[in-house]
């Protein structure tokens, strides 16, 4: 294959070792040094996704890496996305479009067709950028999966990419992880490995110098970086492992004065990056929770997106969370639903075509007078919108002329049952095209505004909307004042990529990595 760009790939000894973060760091480092750089991951499995300006769906990790590189996300950066819909199957998205739900066995058979798709996507990027930073998935040496590999060593070989094998020292067993992974590779695969990177070190890096010597002596490969664990940089994360870690860390220490928001942890939660801007803001306490008894702790409770709305709704009923949410609302609480969470707020959810679930119908929470039916065609759009003139949200801090942005990813179509509830937003455009009045209404709110929902992911990323929502919660909390930690989320987020690049650059042999890349 013809290759134009230089390449660098990050492979891992397992999941959550830091491949995505290090790839993002080098996207920003290369950009800072004046290169045109793009990320690439052949196949991603994640429930957090994003919609590009062209209306294609892709994994969040490559969106973060594209932002770090200072470029617009494109589906070529993540040509295959798998979104689990059950413990055994996933929705398969190819070049931004859903092609169907597959069991693991069926997907392996279908996957043979995708090699050319991956190669062509990479080739297009390679022709337009100076450097392509590639990322593997999970462990690079899952021996039982190697025959079907599209994303790890086979991709490194296809792209002629010198590769850095990343291990997580914080979880222990770093020597077994790095050296064991390396020894399990075939000789020609080992030739692709340019060196190792030890990630998430706690303590003094100098104390690991004997470990560096052991790794280099045993493998004959250099250790290109020992990167300390950090907690001063905030980056979006994409999978359930990261969300479980957030829940395990517990809530931020509360002053008792900040508004508190609880996000319900659904079994098939998706796009929980919708709440990053709230989680990172020191002016609010945000907690992910799954115990019904905790619901009354919060000034507002949010139901996030879901990849399987009916199954998640049934899980809420089984756990007692559904009854707790109904009681919370009756006691005066504020309940918000985003996408799948919005669908759960209604009277009924149906899936006549089995798009997401084998269960064809279930009752919702009954907090909004609407029904939702799952359709065969997926809506994937970037949108601009304004608050609906008749909205009941009570957000006086948002001007009627303020243009808001977000994106839609949903199979369901929701329909109000009466006029007691009113739309939340009026869509102005989808994927850059003006929207007719008949298709402009989005979301629904109760007459008193205490329950509302929307299909718009990323709505809280809009600074004016987020400030107004938090101010409303603060007023209800005995009229307490509100101190915002993030006034401009876009600028704040971009600053995190610079912090990340500085951190990684100072603990890696960047000059040697440039030589490995061929620059």
Active site residues: 339, 457
128 φ, ψ to 5°?
Answer: -115, -5
CA-nearest of 447, 450, 453, 451 to 425 is: 453
Can you tell me the distance from the alpha carbon of 202 to that of 458, in angstroms, rounded to the nearest whole number? 33
Per-residue tokens: 72: 């617009």
Q: Which residue has the tokens 């979880």?
A: 171
Can you tell me the distance from the alpha carbon of 486 to that of 284, in angstroms, rounded to the nearest whole number? 10
Give the Å distances, CA to CA, from 260 to 206, 236, 256, 286, 476. 41, 21, 9, 6, 11
Q: Which residue has the tokens 């359930």?
A: 240
Radius of gyration of the chain (CA): 23
Q: For residue 510, count other CB atoms closer than 10 A to its CB.
A: 18
CA-nearest of 9, 64, 83, 65 to 380 is: 83
CB 38 within 8 A of CB 134: no
Q: For residue 511, count other CB atoms closer than 10 A to its CB.
A: 8
CB 8 within 8 A of CB 508: no
């Amino acid at each position: 294959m013809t290759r134009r760009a230089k390449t660098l790939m990050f492979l891992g000894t397992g999941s959550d070792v830091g491949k995505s973060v290090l790839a993002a760091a080098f996207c920003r480092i290369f950009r800072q040094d004046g290169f045109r750089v793009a990320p690439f991951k052949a196949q991603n499995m994640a429930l957090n996704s994003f919609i590009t300006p062209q209306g294609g769906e892709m994994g969040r990790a490559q969106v973060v890496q594209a932002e770090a590189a200072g470029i617009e996300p494109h589906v070529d950066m993540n040509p295959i996305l798998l979104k689990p819909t059950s413990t055994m199957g996933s929705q398969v998205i190819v070049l931004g479009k859903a092609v169907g739900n597959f069991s693991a066995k069926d997907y392996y058979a279908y996957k043979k067709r995708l090699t050319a798709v991956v190669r062509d996507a990479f080739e297009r990027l390679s022709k337009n950028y100076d450097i392509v930073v590639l990322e593997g998935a999970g462990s690079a040496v899952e021996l039982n999966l190697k025959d079907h590999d599209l994303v790890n060593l086979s991709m490194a070989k296809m792209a002629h990419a010198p590769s850095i094998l990343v291990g997580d020292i914080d979880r222990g067993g770093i020597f077994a992880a790095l050296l064991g992974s390396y020894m399990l590779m075939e000789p020609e695969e080992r030739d692709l490995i340019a060196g190792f990177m030890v990630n998430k070190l706690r303590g003094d890096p100098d104390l690991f110098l004997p470990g560096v010597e052991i790794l280099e002596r045993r493998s004959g490969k250099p250790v290109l970086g020992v990167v300390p664990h950090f907690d001063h940089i905030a980056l979006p994360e994409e999978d359930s492992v990261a969300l479980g870690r957030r829940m395990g860390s517990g809530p931020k220490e509360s002053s008792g004065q900040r508004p508190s928001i609880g996000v319900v942890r659904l079994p098939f939660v998706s796009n929980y990056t919708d709440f990053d801007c709230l989680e990172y803001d020191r002016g609010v306490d945000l907690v992910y929770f799954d115990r019904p008894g905790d619901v009354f702790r919060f000034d507002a409770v949010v139901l996030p997106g879901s990849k399987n709305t009916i199954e998640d709704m049934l899980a809420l009923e089984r756990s007692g969370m559904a009854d707790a949410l109904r009681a919370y609302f009756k006691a005066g609480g504020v309940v918000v639903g985003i996408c799948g969470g919005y669908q759960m707020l209604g009277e009924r959810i149906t899936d006549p075509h089995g798009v997401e679930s084998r269960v064809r119908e279930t009752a919702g929470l009954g907090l909004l007078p609407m029904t939702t039916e799952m359709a065969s065609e997926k809506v994937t759009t970037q949108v601009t919108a304004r608050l609906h003139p008749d909205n009941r949200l009570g957000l006086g801090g948002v001007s009627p002329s303020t243009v808001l942005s977000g994106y839609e990813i949903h199979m369901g179509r929701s329909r109000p049952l009466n006029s007691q509830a009113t739309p939340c937003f009026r869509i102005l455009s989808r994927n850059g095209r003006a929207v007719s009045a008949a298709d402009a209404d989005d979301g629904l709110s109760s007459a008193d505004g205490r329950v509302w929902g929307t299909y718009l992911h990323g709505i809280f990323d809009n600074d004016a909307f987020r400030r107004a929502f938090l101010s409303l919660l603060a007023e209800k909390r005995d009229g307490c004042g509100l101190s915002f930690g993030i006034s401009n989320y876009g600028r704040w987020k971009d600053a995190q990529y610079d912090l990340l690049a500085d951190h990684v650059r100072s603990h890696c042999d960047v000059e040697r990595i440039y030589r490995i890349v061929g620059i």
